[in-house]
Amino acid sequence: MTDIVDELKWRGLIALSTDEDALRKAFADGPVTFYCGFDPTAPSLHLGNLVQILTMRRIQQAGNRPLGLVGGATGLIGDPKPNSERTLNAPEVVAQWVERLRAQIQPLLDFEGPNAAVMVNNLDWTQGLSAIEFLRDVGKHFRVNKMITKEAVARRLESQEGISYTEFSYQILQGMDFLELYRRYGCTLQTGGSDQWGNLTSGTDLIHRVEPDAVVHALGTPLITKADGTKFGKTESGTVWLDPEMTTPYAFYQFWLNADDRDVSKFLRIFSFRSREEIEELEKQTEERPQARAAQRALAEELTTLVHGADQTAAVIAASKALFGQGELAELDEKTLAASLSELPHVQVDELGPVVDLFAEVGLVASKSAARRTVKEGGAYVNNVKVVGEDAVPAKEDLLHGRWLVLRRGKKNLAAVEVTGR
C-alpha cells in the first residue's frame, strides 16, 4: 500500500501534525496503536464524526491498531463550545448514548486479526479516581498559563459567558486519556479534528512530562467546508446524523447526491475508499459531464452502503428512481416511501379533492388556473400517471399505503400529499 501519510495527504486529511516525519517513521516501523475519541453529548454521531471514523479505518487498513474511545466520563462534561456553556446531561442518559455511539462505530472498524480494533471507555479509569488523586497525579503536570492559550478556552475567556472550571478542566481529562491508553495499550498516536488541536496536544504534553522517553504523536484532520459557505453536514432540515431514526437513509443518500460539483472531488477523497485512479476518473467525469452527476451517485451509494447497509441503499435508490417515474411507487415499502416523501414539499389534507386544487395547495404551481394549464399541456402526474382531465379527482384506491399521493409537474418538480382522514 502507498505510505499512509502520503495517502492521507493526497486525500486532504492532514491539517496539523506534531511531527510529520517522525510520524511517517513510526508508521514505517509499525504497527502503530492509535486512538480517536468520541463524546456522547448527543444520541448519535454525525458526518463530522464520520470523517474521524473513516480516517481510523484507513489507518487500520494500512496495518495499524485502532482504539475507539467513547467518552463515558468526558461526555458527562463536554469539551468547551465556542460561545456558551454546555448543558450537562444526566449520567444515565450519557450511559445510554455511550452504547448508541459504540454501535455506530463498531461496524466501520475491523475487530479481527492481528490489528483488531478495541473499544474503550474513559469512565473505566476515571470513575474510581478521587479529586485529590486527580489533582496530585494529573493536574500538577498542567500549567494554567499554557491552558488558557488553547483556542477553545481563549475564545471563551474573551466572551461575556466566560468558562467554568468544569469545562476548563476538559483538556486535562483528555490528556489523561492519552496517558492511560499509552500505558494500557502502548498507544502512541491520537487523531482528531483540527479544532480539537489544543486537546490533542494536551495528551502529548502530559505523556512527555510523565514519561520523558516516550515518543507520541497527534494528527489533526482539517475542518470540512462547503463551497457555498454553508456548514458541512448541515441541510435545511438540520444536522445529518448517522442514526437512521434521526436522519433517514433516504435523506442521507440525498445529502451526497446533492453535493455541489465544486465539493464532490473533496468529498470523494475524504470519504470514499475507491482507489486514486477511480476517484480521478470520477473527477474527470464531473468536469466533462457534470449533468450526469456520476461522482455524486457513486459517493451516495458507497457512503449509504457503508453506514446503513446494502439493503437500505437498494431501497433508497429504488425510491429515488420511482419518484421520477423510473419504477413502481406502489412497490416501495411504507418506511422508505415515508422517508423519501418527507424530503419533498408536502401538505396534509383531510380528504381528497381535485388534482388542480392539490397542485396549487402543495405549491407545485402558483394557482389553480396554472394547474389547469399544466394538466392541459400534459405535464401533471399523480403517482407517475399522467392526469388527462382538468376536473380529475384521485380515488382512495390511488393512495399509496392508504395515505399518500406523489404529485409531479414535468420531469423534476415533485411534491407529496398526505391524506389524514381527520
Query: What are the pLDDT digits (tens) for 29-83?
Result: 989 999 999 999 999 999 999 999 999 999 999 999 999 999 999 999 888 887 7
* More confident: 312 or 411: 312
Q: Are 203 and 175 spatial neighbours (Cβ–Cβ below 8 Å)?
A: yes
Cα Dmax for the chain:
84
Q: For residue 296, is pLDDT > 70? A: yes
Band (pLDDT 50/70/90 cuts) for residue 1 is very low
Q: For residue 327, is pLDDT > 90? A: no
| pLDDT value for 400 | 93
Residue 9 grid coordinates: 495527504
Q: Exposure string (b/e) for 88-113, b if CB count within 10 Å is 16 or more? A: ebeeeebbebbebbbebbeebbeeee
Query: 166-214 pLDDT, tens per residue?
Result: 888 899 999 999 999 999 999 999 999 998 998 999 999 999 999 999 9
Q: Are 387 and 356 spatial neighbours (Cβ–Cβ below 8 Å)?
A: no
| pLDDT value for 2 | 55
Q: Is the dihedral of CA 259, 261, 262, 265 positive or negative?
A: positive
Q: Residue 41 in 3-state DSSP?
A: coil
> What's the rounded Cα separation, in Å, for the pair 323 and 321?
6
Domains present along the chain, CATH in parentheses? 4-221 (3.40.50.620), 224-336 (1.10.240.10), 344-422 (3.10.290.10)
Q: Are 194 and 16 spatial neighbours (Cβ–Cβ below 8 Å)?
A: yes
Residue 309 grid coordinates: 447497509
Q: For residue 422, is pLDDT > 60? A: no
Band (pLDDT 50/70/90 cuts) for residue 263 is very high
Q: For residue 396, is pLDDT > 50? A: yes
Span 93-114, average pLDDT: 96
- The residue whose grid cell reads 398526505 is 418
pTM (2 d.p.): 0.89
Q: For residue 235, is pLDDT > 90? A: no
Q: Residue 234 in 3-state DSSP?
A: strand
| pLDDT value for 325 | 81
Query: 371-384 pLDDT, tens per residue?
Result: 999 999 999 999 99
- The residue whose grid cell reads 475542518 is 223
What is the DSSP-derived secondary structure letter of residue 12?
Answer: T
The tally of CA atoms less than 13 A away on the side-chain side of residue 422 is: 5
Shortest CA distance to 46 belongs to which of 91, 122, 100? 100
